[in-house]
Structure 1
């Protein structure tokens, strides 16, 4: 089934779908990162926004 962007109900705003380019770009902008970095984070910790945000903060800190 196609993703209908005109319908706002049923969308889980706690999860990131990196398979939809427009959604990955939107989340990347919101989280101040690149779409590629976002995909890496989702691959590492899953698609939950809170986990991705935590991963990005940890990985951006200098060692």
Structure 2
């Protein structure tokens, strides 16, 4: 089932939905990482955007 993109409350903004291709693509593009790396981070850390942003930054500097 597709995400309802008209519902953009604070709760939705704090998460990255791994099942939504456009969200994963945006996250990967935003951090300059590969799509597979983004999916691996989401699987490892969960869908909390703040934690994912921090992990992506560490990944990019490594």
Structure-1-length-normalised TM-score: 0.72
CA RMSD of aligned residues (A): 2.0
Q: 1:59 to 1:29 in 2, by over 3 A?
A: closer
Question: Greater share of helix residues, 1 or 2?
Answer: 2
Q: How many residues align?
A: 61
Residue in 1 aligned with 2:59? 59
Unaligned runs of 5+ in 2: none
Bigger Rg, structure 1 or 2: 1
Unaligned runs of 5+ in 1: none
Deviant stretches of 4+, over 4 Å: none
Structure-2-length-normalised TM-score: 0.72
